[in-house]
Amino acid sequence: MARKRGGNKVDGWVVLDKPVGLGSTPAVARVRRLFGAAKAGHGGTLDPLADGVLPIALGEATKTVPFVMDGAKTYRFTLAFGEARTTDDREGEVTERAEHRPDTATLAAVLPRFVGHIQQVPPAYSALKIDGQRAYDLARAGKAPEMTPRTVEIHRLELLDRPDPDIAHLVVDCGKGTYIRSLARDIALALGSVGHVSALRRTAAGRFTEAAAISLPKLEALGHIPALFGALAPVATALDDIPALALTEAEEARLRHGQPIFRPGDAPPEPSLLRAEIGDRLVALVQSDGVSFRPVRVFNL
């Protein structure tokens, strides 16, 4: 999810608190323009309906985007009972109505059924490709795309609040590829009703949390490059859960030339990925084979 343009040498992450109504791609474009960055990408799409944590990678940070895309994410969402919608969120057309509203105890009791590895059918209005076409393009053309169930992982699913019978506020920790719209739809169906997501906020994506997020107005108010740099998180933030390997200058030179370094006594016996550093400066991601460390991604920092 990265684009390269001519621009400034800027390397790091902006943890954007994306507002409702703004798509992820336009959000990245606005941040890239603010910094004048040559390259930019993001760590996982947020629909325009959703707000919250959108990690935006600039420069060399784009090389670490897959580690955020593949990482766990946390969402708070509101499940609205009584209406099924084409998009499984509040923006779609109503396709079915139901009078039944489950009581709070029954709702809480059904949630463990959705924890662990579960089968989930993605929404028809999604960016998944079917025979080379986006599902949402097919759906908008009235072609009813056939969505195949797939396995996703839910680490935690809890009821936060039930202010009235029509809605419930929940929180979920989930793995890559989970659709919260599908989760809300399926919870309602399991309770003998129908439902959709009426509000969605991402509070964490990998190592990035809402506590560190900055809004676009605040970012734009900083106004000039030196102040904007203060809003950058280091490139290595996305790799904090990967073990570190301290390098010598000679070893750094080898890695930068695409050559392995040999430390039979230090290399883990099992194949593993490590982040190679000199001091606090990230040099490369290396793969250990039990004897050597081979560069798989080198950073120009």
pLDDT of residue 2: 52
| pLDDT, tens only, 57-90 | 999 999 999 989 888 999 999 999 999 999 999 9
- Does one domain contain both 200 and 284? no
Residue 39 maps to which CATH number?
Answer: 3.30.2350.10
CATH code assigned at 256: 2.30.130.10
Q: Verify whether residue 11 is a known catalytic residue.
A: no
- In this predicted structure, the answer to whether residue 294 has a pLDDT above a threshold of 80 is yes
User: Do 179 and 115 share a domain, yes or no?
Assistant: yes
Identify whether residues 147 and 168 lie together within a single domain. Answer: yes
Using one digit for the tens of pLDDT, what is the confidence trace for 92-121?
Answer: 999 999 999 999 999 999 999 999 999 999
Q: Could you list the residue range(s) of the whole structural domain that residue 291 is in?
A: 242-298
Q: Tokens 């080379």 belong to which residue?
A: 132
> Do both 168 and 279 map to the same domain?
no
- Residues 6 or more apart from 211 whose CB is under 8 A from it? none
Q: What is the mean pLDDT of residues 29-36?
A: 93
Number of domains in the chain: 3
Do 78 and 153 share a domain, yes or no?
yes
What pLDDT, on the 0 to 100 scale, is given for residue 114?
Answer: 98
Give kind and range of the element (H or E) at residue 222. helix 216-222
Q: Which residue in the list 47, 89, 173, 186 is annotated as catalytic? A: 47
Residues 19 and 35 in one domain: yes
Enter the pTM of the model.
0.89
Is the pLDDT at 1 greater than 60, yes or no?
no
Neighbours of 102 (CB within 10 A): 21
**In this predicted structure, what is the pLDDT of residue 148?**
82
141-150, 198-207, 287-296: segment of lowest average pLDDT: 141-150
In angstroms, the first-to-last Cα distance of the chain is 21
Contact 150, 137 (CB under 8 A): no
pLDDT at 3 over 70: no
Query: Which carries the bigger pLDDT value, residue 144 or residue 254?
Result: 254
**Maximum average pLDDT range among 67-71, 122-126, 202-206:** 202-206
